[in-house]
Amino acid sequence: MSELLRQIVDVVSLTKPRLSSLVIFTTAIGILVAPGTMPFGDALWGVLLSTLIVASGTVLNMYIERDVDALMTRTASRPLPDGRLKPAVALWFGIALLVIAVPLMVLKVNLLTLGLGLMAWTVYLFWYTPLKRRSVGAVYVGAIPGATPVVMGWTAATGTIDPVAVALFGILFMWQIPHFIAISMFRREEYERAGLKVLPVEYGDQVSLWHMVGTSLGLVAATLAPVWFDVGGPLYMVTASLLAVVALTGALWGIPARAGSRWARGYFFGTLVYLPLLLGVLALDVL
């Protein structure tokens, strides 16, 4: 690989491609589930510009947390802590993405979607990022920007926020809590070394597990909420019910001394299947 190509790959990696792919997916789901039919070109602009705003936040987060990333095994090889890119590159790249996205969002989508994107960007960078070193509550704050793209997709298509959009937000919000607690359990030592406040480090496995059970119950309610608003048919209702039972059972399984890194890792990977399956079936059922 040439040096130029390697640098391009490193710059792109600052956007956290796996996270960006989740943003693309959830924004598209918001558009697909929304009432009416959005022209493909308009939908493409909505997904692209929403992704650019979120990517700006992730790049600037990489810039801010480069010292923390250097202390964690899973992030130490990223371009900034590894020294392959200068911090200024990430700073200006992150700013450039936002500068490009904002006026285009006004012209090609709508102000409401832009407002939601800027809200998520602000919460992620200026509330969630510093809070990670101060409070375990950061996981709940971080779930706000993480759940916003699906609403941005909805507002891009409709220009409004209604109870269904809130229900979709609830699914993404509640899904993130047990998902993150699980990863912080099997990577406990890394989070502790980096000085980040997470439940397993501060309060131990049992408290963490009960948080997972409580938020899994919330996920059950959020998962079934679209049905209450007549969104999603029998296929979604059956799939959502089965997945809700699996999620709650999985969380309860860890309580009686079964919890450990192996269980937490398995639960984490289970959540990676849960979300695309649930939202994919919802979109299929609505269409």
- What is the per-residue pLDDT across 2-30, written as a single tens digit (0 to 9) for each? 777 888 898 999 999 999 999 999 999 99
Q: What is the pLDDT of residue 159?
A: 95
> What ranges in the chain are assigned the alpha helix state H?
3-13, 17-33, 40-64, 66-69, 87-108, 111-123, 129-131, 138-158, 163-186, 188-194, 199-228, 234-253, 261-286
Domain CATH code at residue 233: 1.20.120
pTM as predicted: 0.93
Short-list 164, 51, 148, CA closest to 105: 51
Residues spanned by the domain of 82: 1-135
- Mean pLDDT over all residues of the chain? 92
| Residue at which a domain ends, from 135, 150, 174 | 135
Q: Are residues 102 and 185 in the same domain?
A: no
Section 155-162 average pLDDT: 96
Q: Are residues 223 and 125 in the same domain?
A: no
Q: Are residues 120 and 234 in the same domain?
A: no
For the stretch 68-83, pLDDT in tens is: 999 888 888 999 999 8
Q: Are residues 122 and 47 in the same domain?
A: yes
Q: Using CA atoms, how far apart are residues 109 and 116, in angstroms rounded to an integer? A: 12
Q: What is the pLDDT of residue 165?
A: 96
Contacts of 43 (CB under 8 A, 6+ apart): 28, 31, 156, 157
Tell me, what DSSP letter sits at residue 198? -
Residue 151 lies in a domain: no
Question: In the numeric block, which tokens belong to residue 200?
Answer: 């397993």
Residue 148 lies in a domain: no
Report yes or no: 97 and 55 within 8 Å, Cβ to Cβ.
yes
Report yes or no: 209 and 222 within 8 Å, Cβ to Cβ.
no
Q: Using CA atoms, how far apart are residues 164 and 281, in angstroms rounded to an integer? A: 16
